[in-house]
Amino acid sequence: MSLSLRYKHVPSGVVSNSSKSEGQTKEKAASSRLVDETKVHGFETELISLEKMLDQRQSSDQFKAIGIVGKRGVGKTTLCQVLFKKKEPVGPVQANFLPRIWVCMSWKPNEYRDDFKATVVRRMLTYLGIENDIIDSVYKDHSLSGLLYALHLQLTGKKYLIVLDDVKETGEWFANLDSPITEKEKWGERLAFGLPKGHGGTIIVTSRDEKVAKMMVGEKNLLHLLPLSHPKSCSSIFNDHINEGPKLENDTECKEFLKKCAGLPLAATMMGKIKSEELAAEKAAKEAAEKAAKEAAEKAAKEAAEKAAKEAAEKAAKEATEKAAKEPESPISSKDEEKNKIEELPTESKPIQPDDAAKNSKDDKKIKSVEVPAGEEPIQQQEKDARSSSKDDEQIKSKEHPAEAEPRPHQEGAAH
């Protein structure tokens, strides 16, 4: 079959610089859900079994297809992820397989929904570093056969590892992945025709459906994954997701939890995440309640202080009023009142008081007396002095001659 393909040439056995870097980037993106190996528990035996199955082949160049089956949440994807990224010591995948491609067998946006087969091959080519416009051109000109042929050319001479995770599709197109293409068959008839044989390439299929996996890899190449049986394994998965709060420690708690999660790592993981969220929510609610209580206490204390201050002020004002009512005002004399009124009036408008008039009269007389020349007394003053002198003389005489002081009437009449 002759196809005019504009693809990046990759020498046999290696990956070109651009394809390798892009492929590793795609690999990283495809396996972004990879778990932390330190948080994987209970898969030690299964991991060893899977590594042995990778090595069980008649020659290093023999193609190998392996199927991992088990119920949902049992850890099929997790087991493959640990194998895919194992580095301590250098894992069998890291050391022996390149390129490594992780294909999630579920729908994604903007893909060929009308042809899921083309979607699967397109993802592989994308992870190998083939540009999207080239893939689109090949699919447009040569349909599914062109895509499979391009995949075969890219993988030829390489010891590749491809993981097809969570396969649900059935049909002959996915069957017998170890089948090589013959001259009588067409490229687009099977997925297996795009996978070169004879260079040690390997395919790992995970599926809940044992029939699907058996159809793809054969019954002898199946690894059955069972639920975890050790209580500590599930409790450790649970505890890994609890950042703060009580964890499962004693044997009784671990055994009870094993029953609750039915030995499924996914269930243990989800329960741990839910519990962690609940604890975080409780902590947040507690902190919010404490903050609200503190604010309420501060507000109440402030209001109480303001109320106490107000009551104290009202009490003090009341006591002052009562005290003022009990103490009579000191009486003010009418004279003081008049004096106050006079002081309040302007100087020009003050009325002349009797005392002031008398004082002024006295002053006037004094001034007049001062104005009279020396030796010249006023007539009124001379008369007053004369009367006063005469009166004094009569009083002296009456004292010296009392009998003569008052003449008898008959004598006065006789005289007349």
Please report the pLDDT score of residue 338 as a whole number. Answer: 62
Instruction: Return d(Cα 41, Cα 368) in angstroms, integer.
Output: 137
The string of pLDDT tens digits covering residues 128-184 is: 999 999 999 999 999 999 999 999 999 999 999 999 999 987 788 999 999 888 888
User: For position 158, what pLDDT does the model report?
Assistant: 93
Q: Is a pLDDT exceeding 70 seen at residue 384? A: no
pLDDT at 2 over 60: no
411 confidence band (pLDDT: 50, 70, 90): very low
Band of residue 398 on the pLDDT scale cut at 50, 70, 90: low
Task: Assess whether pLDDT exceeds 70 at residue 110.
Answer: no
Q: Of 279, 277, 280, 271, nearest to 238 (Cα)? A: 271
Residue 8 binned pLDDT confidence (cut-offs 50, 70, 90)? very low
Residue 116 has pLDDT above 90, yes or no: no
What number is the average pLDDT over the span 66-88? 88
Return the C-alpha torsion angle 202, 22, 87, 62, nearest 10.
20
Neighbour count for residue 71 (Cβ, 10 Å) = 13
342 band by pLDDT with thresholds 50, 70 and 90: low
SS (H, E, C) the chain: CCCCCCCCCCCCCCCCHHHHHHHHHHHHHHCCCCCCHHHCCCCHHHHHHHHHHHHCCCCCCCCEEEEEECCCCCCHHHHHHHHHHCCCCCCHHHHHCECEEEEECCCCCCCCCCCHHHHHHHHHHHHCCCCHHHHHHHHHHHHHHHHHHHHHHHHCCCECEEEEECCCCCCHHHCCCCCCCCCCCCHHHCHHHHCCCCCCCEEEEEECCHHHHHHHHCHHHEEECCCCCCHHHHHHHHHHCCCCCCCCCCHHHHHHHHHHHCCCHHHHHHHHHHHHHHHHHHHHHHHHHHHHHHHHHHHHHHHHHHHHHHHHHHHHHHHHHHHHHHCCCCCCCHHHHHHHHHHHCCHHHCCCCHHHHHHHHHHHHHHHHHHCCCCCCCHHHHHHHHHHHHHHHHHHHHHHCCCCCCCCHHHHHHHC
42, 169, 244, 247, 267 from 256: Cα distances, Å: 17, 37, 21, 13, 14
Is pLDDT above 90 for 223? yes
Q: Residue 321: what residue type?
A: T
pLDDT at 1: 44
Across the beta sheet with 161-165, what order do the strands follow? 100-104, 161-165, 202-207, 64-69, 222-224
Residues 240-298 have pLDDT tens digits of: 988 877 888 888 989 999 999 999 999 999 999 998 888 888 888 999 999 999 999 99
Phi (first) and psi of residue 223, to 5 degrees: -115, 115
- β-pair partners for 159: 98
User: CA 57, 60, 63 angle in degrees (round to 5)?
Assistant: 60
Q: What is the pTM of this model?
A: 0.64
Nearest to 224 by CA among 240, 209, 243, 203: 209
pLDDT tens digit sequence for 181-220: 888 888 989 999 999 998 899 999 999 999 999 999 999 9
pLDDT of 15 reads 35
Percent of the chain having pLDDT more than 70? 67
Which pLDDT score is estimated for 184?
A: 82
Looking at per-residue pLDDT, the higher value among 105 and 152 belongs to 152
Residue type, 76: K
Q: Which residue has the tokens 């009308």?
A: 114
What does the alpha-carbon distance between residue 147 and residue 139 come to, in Å, rounded to a whole number? 6
Question: What local confidence, expressed as pLDDT, does residue 32 receive?
Answer: 44
Q: Whole-number mean pLDDT of the chain? A: 77
Predicted pLDDT at 394: 59
Cα separation, 173 vs 192, in Å, equals 8
Confidence of residue 68 (pLDDT cuts 50, 70, 90): very high
Task: With beta carbons less than 8 A apart as the criterion, state whether 187 and 36 touch.
Answer: no
Q: For residue 399, what pLDDT band results from cuts at 50, 70 and 90? A: low
Could you tell me the pLDDT band of residue 85, with boundaries at 50, 70 and 90?
A: confident
